[in-house]
Amino acid sequence: MKIYQLIYTSVKHSLSDSSLGLVNQPGYRVYSCSQGLTQGDIFEVIRFCGYRLPKNIDISYSETPFDPSIPDKFPKTYRTLKLASGKYAAIQVSYSGYDWEGEKGNFFAHAFIIDEADEGFTPEMFYGSPSFKTYLTPEEYNNELVQYLPPITVPELETELYDKVDSFVSNHKIQMSAVLEQVIPVLTGAGKTHICISAKNAEESAMYVLGLKRILPVGLADEYGVSTNNVFLPSSSQNNIIINGTVTGKNNITDEDVQRRTNCVYIDAQRIETDGVKP
């Protein structure tokens, strides 16, 4: 299994590689990536590197660019998808406060792109991995000549992640069965294309998303990317990421949005109807 890296954020300088369409210039850029990726891989990944601050969040932080204390103050977004090339992407996006120009609202996306995946591999296994970077050091963002990022061995994984997910599914059998019943129109292609599950907090929302992905049939699950901590309903202009999570009271999803987006199955985990549902 080969694991390549990519970092996308607002920078002064970035990797220059004309064969990949990358130019060393300021702004939101691919700061760097590993050799072995294609231009198509890169453009497909950066489509999903954005970040929106949750609604109703009031947290103070410094104006120092890439202050390493900032990302852990805010919820991170985790996304997975299968690329057109057959590779997989696991992306963690963190809020990083101010950029090098003093502009507020910078974010930092670190992606692992996996090629020649081992049997049984799923990109969700990297959820919460400590190997994801969340900031650049002063030396890195001031460096005028940016180097390629090296491929990595298997990243450090969150301790007992799948045990946590399996325990959640086991303790929420009725709810997960009800969710499965509601998403059948997506699984069968019956006019529905996306799923969005709203829960009371970020951890529970992520567990519903990862749990649903975990219990899907292997062949089907392989094509269903996930996204956590969404602020809006998933875009209907893409079919890479199907299973989405959001937090009640921390998003900009209105009742009108839910009614208008008829192709998206919206599930409020706190109001799941379980009468007559078998686990």
Q: Are 86 and 162 in contact (CB under 8 A)?
A: no
Are 231 and 246 a contacting pair, CB within 8 Å?
yes
Mean pLDDT of the region 8-33: 96
Q: Which residue in 270, 178, 186, 249 sits closest to 223, CA to CA?
A: 186
Section 34-41 average pLDDT:
97
Write out pLDDT tens, residues 61-78: 999 999 999 999 999 999
- Angle between helix axes 202-215 and 173-182 (nearest 10 degrees) is 70
- Asked if pLDDT for residue 138 goes beyond 80, the answer is yes
The Cα–Cα gap between 85 and 17 comes to: 20
Predicted confidence (pLDDT) at residue 41 exceeds the cutoff of 90: yes
Q: Is the CB of residue 96 less than 8 Å from the CB of residue 105?
A: no
What's the distance, Cα to Cα, between the start and end of the chain in Å?
36
Q: pLDDT tens digits for 150-171?
A: 999 877 787 789 899 999 999 9
- If phi > 0 it is left, if psi is from -120 to 50 it is alpha, else beta; for residue 66 that is left
Which of these, 118, 124, 111, 79, lies nearest to 221 by C-alpha position?
A: 124
Q: In 10 A of CB 24, how many CB atoms? A: 15
pLDDT tens-digit readout, 246-259: 999 999 999 999 99
Question: Residue 123 has what pLDDT?
Answer: 93
Dihedral over alpha carbons 248, 252, 258, 264 (to 10 degrees): -90
CA distance linking residue 177 with residue 174, whole number of Å: 5
Pairing of strands 88-98, 241-247: unpaired
pLDDT beyond 90 at 267: yes
pLDDT on residue 276: 58
How many angstroms separate the CA atoms of 98 and 66, rounded? 7
User: Which value, to the nearest 10 degrees, does the dihedral of the CA atoms of residues 55, 61, 66, 72 take?
Assistant: -60
